[in-house]
Structure 1
Amino acid sequence: MTLLTEGTYPHSHGGVSVWCDQLVQGMPDVDFHVIAVTGTGRESLAWELPAHVRSVASHPLWGPPPAGRAPRGRALRSFLACYEQFLLALLDPAQEHHFPRAFYRLADHAAAGILAPALRGEAAARTLVRVWNRPGLAVAAARPTLHDALTATDLLEHALRPLAADPPAGGVTHAVSGGLAALPGLIAHHRHGTPFLLTEHGIYLRERYLGFRTEPYTWPVKALMLGLFRLLAVESYRCAALVTPGNRYNRRWEEHGGTPPARIRTVYNGVDPAAFPPAGPEPRTPTLSWAGRVDPIKGLETLIRAFALVRAEIPEARLRLFGGTPRGGEGYRTSCEKLAAELGVGEAVVFEGRVEDIRDAYAAGNVVMLSSISEGFPFTLIEAMSCGRATVSTDVGGVCEAVGDTGLVVPPRDPESMAKAALKLLRDDSLRASMGEAARLRVIEQFTLRQTISAFRDIYRDLAGVGQRPVEHPWHRPQPQTVLDEAALGPVMAMAAGDAG
């Protein structure tokens, strides 16, 4: 079994990393290999790996440039022809049926060591300028510049580095997210017919659209990169032997992305109720607690604004935030601290940092909060529920499926609704207690780790028996336009603007 990860296990902590560790630890009889897409390649292991994790191969997106020599002469012309077809597929809906052919040819160039050097050359940037200004392309109206082309080409070069990974010829590849983590799995499937399994905890494409709204790039650059992520999603859904969303919300996205319903199986995250027993007595001071990584997608500005409204009603209230700040996220944490100070609650909002035992984070609050603008099926939520704490959560991803009627759910980016829900629970001891008890029972009945491990053990066994079944690539005839096009992504942009979860 080869796990494919990006920015998570085994080099960092977080919900997906916890899920990977649970999966590996729960199957000591299965040999695992890991192909990890990382940041710089200098990341140390964050998890103690058991003996049956046989290897870890790291493929950094940003460290030193990969070794290799740029093509010249006929080889360069061949590369540029393929690259131009690839760019057109990303930018022109009428050409996107050419994406698989161009994509896998680029993978061959990566395996030969010439893709990264070629993309760092002047000819690649000039090819993009020419494509961008092709008559009929909408992006031409934005008047992309040479600087835009250099920026976009550099981003593509880094994003495509995992194409150089050595894909496994046997077993099963299991991507634990869409996007760049899936690249080695797609290549293994294309070259060897290796069965490809895709698990999406959150919808990678949706999160890229949310994230790119705040990136400092021009629209032509964003259009190119989002085109890449969109067509990678389509190709991943098409090639996967099975897609295992963590909730029904994700399943709807995957069906709209073209995955046949028969190849989708929802598998919920699970926890060990014995490892997350009832948290015990509540703090005497009214306290809201939160656990997670300090990241814009976690919606901490909404939580801080909501807490300011709570504090106006309950002056002694406190907000305790548990979790680390990832590298590059220091500015976001500073902005959150500044917001708390501006709202007059700076002394009552405490960033606790990473906590040795996450259970302490849940025990620290009378109510556990989740304020995210995007989630899959969040571990922190079901862990807090297992600890018997009442929760207030935003209606994103699979949150409603997790909570049921055992907690309060509010719209994302809505401080007033969040504050109202928190105040309701803080002021009603019996309601908090009954919701906490019901939440733990719900976890025991529906979301245990044993159920999750059993489901994936069955899936691994079934896929290992599938054998070599490459998907036929209909490269030479136009295909029906995928439903995951720009029109379908309109709701995504609305959600990123704060309309819905």
Structure 2
Amino acid sequence: MRVCHYLELESRLDRSGIGTSVAHQRKALADTDVELLVSPWRGGTPRRALSHALVGDGAFDQFDLAHCNVVGPGSVAVARHARRNGVPLVLHAHVTSEDFAESFRGSTAAGPLLRRYLRWFYSQADLVLCPSEYTKRVLESYPVDAPIRPISNGVDLESLAGFEDLRGEYRARYDLEGMVVFALGNVFERKGLTDFCRLAETTDYDFAWFGTYDTGPHASPTVRRWTRDPPENVTFTGWVDDKRGAFAAGDVFCFPAKVENQGIVVLEAMACGKAVVLRDLPVFREFYTDGEDCLLCETRREFRAALDRLASDPDLRERLGESARETAAEHGLDRVGEELTAAYRRVTND
């Protein structure tokens, strides 16, 4: 089976959760009988495709199934081509209006318009994939008129190998000491930025957020405010060249996100055996168990109490971390590959 596995704007999304999920999918499919074509365009680019179209060769390459991972104009073109030519179409719902809110300036206000667009776009699919049962319920509420199937984003365990060796280097680089409370990923208010900083203000622990943050006109005022003038015990590192360094330097992964479709970084922290403290969201209860492989909190006071427990009880940190490692192992890429190929067979009747 030849599958067009398309990530529009791929070079700009390589530092995003979407980019990571797509990388996981492609690695998971590498050991299957699926042949991946990463560009739909004849000649490899839209410009070359246009040249082919002008001489009657057609703009699109040949493939048996189209799998698009974002929702932009290139993906719309692929979807329309698939519908016109009877090619099975899988759309991956990494984006919802709920998780787009509080990401960039104006993103919350755009929510209702985006929701209508996503309902139209995803409804073209023969099958919509999404990361969780929670996301499936969100899409059904729009409502999306297509079958919806949850598949975990998975975690690339190989990519984290050897992280422990970087602990000294990264703690020294960012002047971190003691029990370090950390987060990893793009800095957005949706991911709990204000709560992260307010929580830090009430403690003496070192806090570090490893990840890119925007400072230009499209950045939210909240992100600009906190990153320009953070609490004394909070470090915003900006982009780190090796994510393993973040997991090495940190001790407790603290993620007070307001909305998540799954949260690959949570699985990565768990795979590294870190104690994880999360906001009590339905999507996290879907995958994790409070007191066994994580601690779930609703308020800043509860987050503070959880951090204090973990600081005073290293055995609890170790126990939670070991259970978390077992949970992450259930989301390995072998499982992702099996579920993707099953989804492809479903829409192709193969």
Same fold per TM (> 0.5)?
A: yes
Name 1:232's counterpart in structure 2.
Answer: 117
- With a CA cutoff of 8 Å and minimum separation of 6, indicate the structure with the bigger relative contact order: 2
Amino acid at match of 1:319: F
Amino acid at match of 2:37: F
Aligned in 2, Cα 1:5/1:417: closer, same or farther, shift over 3 Å?
A: farther
Name 1:302's counterpart in structure 2.
Answer: 195
Compute the displacement of 1:171 (Å): 2.5
Counterpart Cα distance in 2 of 1:183 and 1:397: 31
CA deviations on 1:83-141 (whole Å, 9 max, x unpaired) are xxxxxxxxxxxxxxxxxxxxxxxxxxxx99xxxxxxxxxxxxxxxxxxxxxxxxxxxxx
Compute the displacement of 1:322 (Å): 0.8
- 2:295 counterpart of 1:408: yes
Instruction: Specify which of 191, 198, 207 is matched with residue 319 of structure 1.
Output: 207
Check the 8 A contact 1:4/1:181 in 2, yes or no: no
Counterpart Cα distance in 1 of 2:79 and 2:123: 10
CA deviations on 1:241-293 (whole Å, 9 max, x unpaired) are 111110111011122233468x2221112124354358659886121011101
Q: What TM-score, normalized to structure 2?
A: 0.79
Instruction: Specify which of 176, 180, 193 is matched with residue 86 of structure 2.
Output: 193
Gaps of 5+ in 2: 172-176
CA deviations on 1:285-336 (whole Å, 9 max, x unpaired) are 121011101233322121010111122xxxxx20111112257349655411
Bigger shift: residues 25-34 or 349-358: 25-34
Would you say how many aligned residue pairs link Structure 1 and Structure 2? Answer: 325
Check the 8 A contact 1:289/1:366 in 2, yes or no: yes
Compute the displacement of 1:27 (Å): 3.0
Check the 8 A contact 1:172/1:194 in 2, yes or no: yes
Instruction: Specify which of 92, 106, 113 is matched with residue 215 of structure 1.
Output: 106
1:244 is paired with a residue whose SS is strand
Check the 8 A contact 1:389/1:435 in 2, yes or no: yes
Check the 8 A contact 2:254/2:277 in 1, yes or no: yes
Check the 8 A contact 2:102/2:188 in 1, yes or no: no
Instruction: Specify which of 324, 337, 347 is matched with residue 227 of structure 2.
Output: 337
Name 2:133's counterpart in structure 1.
Answer: 248
- 2:342 counterpart of 1:451: no
Counterpart Cα distance in 2 of 1:240 and 1:434: 43
Task: Work out the percentage of aligned pairs sharing the same amino acid.
Answer: 22
Counterpart Cα distance in 2 of 1:383 and 1:30: 28
Counterpart Cα distance in 2 of 1:426 and 1:440: 20
Amino acid at match of 2:29: M
Instruction: Specify which of 258, 277, 301 is matched with residue 392 of structure 1.
Output: 277
Check the 8 A contact 2:93/2:122 in 1, yes or no: no
Name 2:174's counterpart in structure 1.
Answer: none
CA deviations on 1:142-170 (whole Å, 9 max, x unpaired) are xxxxxxxxxxxxxxxxxxxxxxx956674
Instruction: Specify which of 27, 32, 35 is matched with residue 30 of structure 1.
Output: 35
Name 1:433's counterpart in structure 2.
Answer: 318
Gaps of 5+ in 1: 37-52, 59-66, 68-110, 113-164, 312-316, 467-501
Counterpart Cα distance in 2 of 1:399 and 1:216: 24
Compute the displacement of 1:229 (Å): 2.5
Structure-to-structure mapping, 1:374-389, within 5 angstroms:
374-389=259-274
Check the 8 A contact 2:40/2:61 in 1, yes or no: no
Amino acid at match of 1:409: L
Bigger shift: residues 419-428 or 325-334: 325-334
2:44 is paired with a residue whose SS is strand
Compute the displacement of 1:350 (Å): 1.4
Larger Rg: 1
Compute the displacement of 1:35 (Å): 6.2
Compute the displacement of 1:433 (Å): 0.7
Counterpart Cα distance in 1 of 2:59 and 2:98: 28
Counterpart Cα distance in 1 of 2:45 and 2:323: 41
Aligned in 2, Cα 1:433/1:375: closer, same or farther, shift over 3 Å?
A: same
CA deviations on 1:15-43 (whole Å, 9 max, x unpaired) are 2111212222333451313369xxxxxxx
